[in-house]
Amino acid sequence: MLSSSALRMPSGSGRRAAGILAAAAITALIGLIFWALQNTTITRTGSTIPVDIPHLLRMSAIQAGLTTLISVVAGIAIAWSLDRLKFPGKPLLVGLFASAIVTPGVVVAFGLITIWGRAGWANTVLNAMGLSVDSSIFGLYGILLAHLILDGTFAARILLSRLDANPATRLKTGRSLGLGAVRRFMVLDWPAMRGAIPGLSAIIFLLAFTSFPIVLLLGGGPANQTLEVAIYSSVRLNFDLGAAVALSLTQLVVCTATILPALAFPGSIAPAGNTNSFFWPDRWSVRVLQIAILGLGTIGFILPLLAVLVGGVSANLPVLMARPNFWQALGTSVSVGVSGAVLTLALGLAITLARTNLKSRIGRTLIGLPAYTYLVVPSVVLSLGFFLLTRSLGLRPQSVATLVLILASALLALPFALAILGPAVSAVAGRYDKLSRSLALTGWLRWRLVEWPLITREIGIVLAMGFCFSLNDVGVISLFGTDSFTTLPWLMVRALGAYRSNDAAIIAAILLTLCLTTFWLLPYLFGKLSNAQD
């Protein structure tokens, strides 16, 4: 028997209030962080080693610009190839590419070192033949390669969903008109993809511009240092908080200047709806090219991850297990991951449900805006703000480290959570709102009978993403971490710095396994949960 009074879920006005509360809380938090940053600009503390901001800005822009260019081009090529080819295991490969967004940057960087480092796989094979790889993985080349692996596949997954959204009838029309490969790309593919490209480019640029662990591990020295790493160095190595704040404000200006023009373009990077069922392969000569592109993309993505797993399996596990800080790091990482996931989902649902209950477009924009904080306030800047805030409140930064980790991770995952939940909740509202109202389904009853069963999978994805983002954070812990308080990724970075490659190999494998398993398993289990209610 259904009882609407048994458990109440906010309806109409309640949902709006919950969303406004969530948005206001984020805004207040960001306001406090800005206040802390602003306050520190005036009083520079610690040593005052000069920082070359123009050089750092140039390096950050070069690596982010090149990353964006090659990732978008690679993404288009891989999406185009995936769209045209049909083969066993294709859904698995597409799913693997989708998991690029949660694959830890430290793990990919470590995988690249395992393959291309001086004692890596490539040199082991080449040395046996009396040869060696001259180019070092450390430096701009390594940074670009690591970003390409993560961002190129991420771009491919987003663009593939745009191609999949081309209506079958339009493809049939194109095929019956005999469009060749080039014309087909220009008439059908490019128009489908181009709407997503400004937003996608902005996101990739920001991800690369604010990339911390990859530059930290593969940067190879001050010449390739970026703003993000310089902020970390200013706080942890020089304790020059004034310099750190100056760098952070520079970073904020660039990030804002990047995201605002992208918002002016129509189109979105959210999944573009149902996949069409019409398969139209190109002629054989074109298919050979597509097979080559896809093969290269697959090997490029899988090989570093495989290297990490192989390295983890063949390393000495008992040595790491004997270290007490490993267990502390594992416990912290998992608890932060779970808490971050739940907070991401709570904030994401509060904001999304409120937006669908608001008629005013301005209201919807205002409620959604704070959720995109991360796009302009990257994790190291966010954590610097928290760091300064706790100091100005007279607290020891370490005493609030766990809370800061959870809050920051949830804020990082929130834009992605909204991109996933938003279209799903809107689709349910668009289709069933009138019917639900006519049947007086409101509040908890509406949530349980209409919304929950239809967005369960998306909820699983958001939880998985929140967990992985929280688990993988390196930016926040780099400022708050101590010998006695650390997380798995930071323990791995420190193990690498101390040449304990055995420890790093196992931690990298654990991180990768945890992320991939969660990203695949949670949406699946939540989907099953929904089916079980049928």
Partner 1 sequence: MLRIENLTFAHPGQTAPYQFDLEVAPGEIVAISGTSGSGKSTLLDLVAGFLTPTNGEIALDDRSLLPLPPEERPVSILFQDNNLFDHLTVAQNIALGLQSTHGSEQAISDVLKRVGLEGYAPRRARSLSGGQQQRVALARTLLRDKPILLLDEPFTGLDAETASSMRDLVKDLTNAKNWHVVLVSHDEDDAVFLADRRFDLSGNQLTERAKA
| Distant-in-sequence, close-in-space partners of 396: CB < 8 Å, separation ≥ 6 | 390
Which is nearer to partner 1, 31 or 167 (by Cβ)?
167
Instruction: Please tell me whether residue 35 adopts helix, strand or coil conformation.
Output: helix
Distance CA 119, CA 132 (A): 10
The letter for the amino acid at 530 is S
* Residues 329, 487 contacting (CB under 8 angstroms): yes
Output the six-digit token pair for 39.
């306050």
Q: How far is the CB of 74 from partner 1 (least distance, A)?
A: 25
Site for partner 1 in 173-192 (CB under 8 A): 173, 175-179, 187-188, 191
Which is nearer to partner 1, 179 or 289 (by Cβ)?
179
Q: How far is the CB of 162 from partner 1 (least distance, A)?
A: 14
Which is nearer to partner 1, 124 or 169 (by Cβ)?
169
Which is nearer to partner 1, 164 or 503 (by Cβ)?
164
Torsion of CA 411, 415, 420, 424, to 10 degrees: 100
Q: How far is the CB of 193 from partner 1 (least distance, A)?
A: 12
DSSP state of 444: H
The letter for the amino acid at 281 is P
Which is nearer to partner 1, 147 or 184 (by Cβ)?
184
Q: How far is the CB of 508 from partner 1 (least distance, A)?
A: 42
Helical H runs in 85-118? 90-98, 105-116
Q: How far is the CB of 169 from partner 1 (least distance, A)?
A: 4
Q: How far is the CB of 273 from partner 1 (least distance, A)?
A: 14
Instruction: Please tell me whether residue 168 adopts helix, strand or coil conformation.
Output: helix
The letter for the amino acid at 44 is R
Q: How far is the CB of 452 from partner 1 (least distance, A)?
A: 29
Q: Which of 169, 399, 482, 531 binds partner 1 (CB under 8 A)?
A: 169
Which is nearer to partner 1, 5 or 176 (by Cβ)?
176
* Residues 143, 209 contacting (CB under 8 angstroms): no
Distance CA 529, CA 65 (A): 43
Q: Is 278 in the site for partner 1 (CB under 8 A)?
A: yes
Which is nearer to partner 1, 49 or 177 (by Cβ)?
177
Determine the size of the site formed for partner 1 (CB under 8 A): 14
Q: How far is the CB of 275 from partner 1 (least distance, A)?
A: 16
Q: Which of 12, 31, 167, 331 binds partner 1 (CB under 8 A)?
A: 167
Site for partner 1 in 62-121 (CB under 8 A): none
Distance CA 249, CA 241 (A): 12
Backbone phi, then psi, for 276, in 5-degree steps? -80, 155
Determine the interface stretch with partner 1 among 164-172, 321-329, 413-421, 461-469 (rule: CB under 8 A). 164-172
Which is nearer to partner 1, 54 or 178 (by Cβ)?
178
Q: How far is the CB of 35 from partner 1 (least distance, A)?
A: 47
Side-chain-side CA neighbours of residue 318 (13 Å): 0
Q: Is 170 in the site for partner 1 (CB under 8 A)?
A: yes
Q: How far is the CB of 180 from partner 1 (least distance, A)?
A: 9
Site for partner 1 in 377-396 (CB under 8 A): none
The letter for the amino acid at 81 is S
* Residues 76, 151 contacting (CB under 8 angstroms): no
Q: How far is the CB of 195 from partner 1 (least distance, A)?
A: 10
239 sits in the region (left: phi over 0; alpha: psi -120 to 50; else beta) called: left
Determine the interface stretch with partner 1 among 72-80, 165-173, 266-274, 313-321 (rule: CB under 8 A). 165-173
Pick from 499, 500, 474, 493: nearest CA to 322: 500
The letter for the amino acid at 332 is T
Pick from 213, 523, 251: nearest CA to 385: 251
Which is nearer to partner 1, 191 or 331 (by Cβ)?
191
Torsion of CA 479, 492, 103, 466, to 10 degrees: -50
Q: How far is the CB of 175 from partner 1 (least distance, A)?
A: 5
Pick from 226, 268, 292, 270: nearest CA to 53: 226
Which is nearer to partner 1, 192 or 408 (by Cβ)?
192
Which is nearer to partner 1, 191 or 497 (by Cβ)?
191
Which is nearer to partner 1, 287 or 448 (by Cβ)?
287
| Distant-in-sequence, close-in-space partners of 37: CB < 8 Å, separation ≥ 6 | 245, 248, 249, 381, 384, 385, 388
Q: How far is the CB of 174 from partner 1 (least distance, A)?
A: 8
Determine the interface stretch with partner 1 among 9-17, 163-171, 206-214, 338-346 (rule: CB under 8 A). 163-171
Site for partner 1 in 185-224 (CB under 8 A): 187-188, 191
* Residues 126, 45 contacting (CB under 8 angstroms): no
Which is nearer to partner 1, 106 or 188 (by Cβ)?
188
Output the six-digit token pair for 283.
């002629």
The letter for the amino acid at 2 is L
> Which helix (H) or strand (E) is 133 found in, with range?
none
Residues that bind partner 1 (CB under 8 A): 167, 169-170, 172-173, 175-179, 187-188, 191, 278
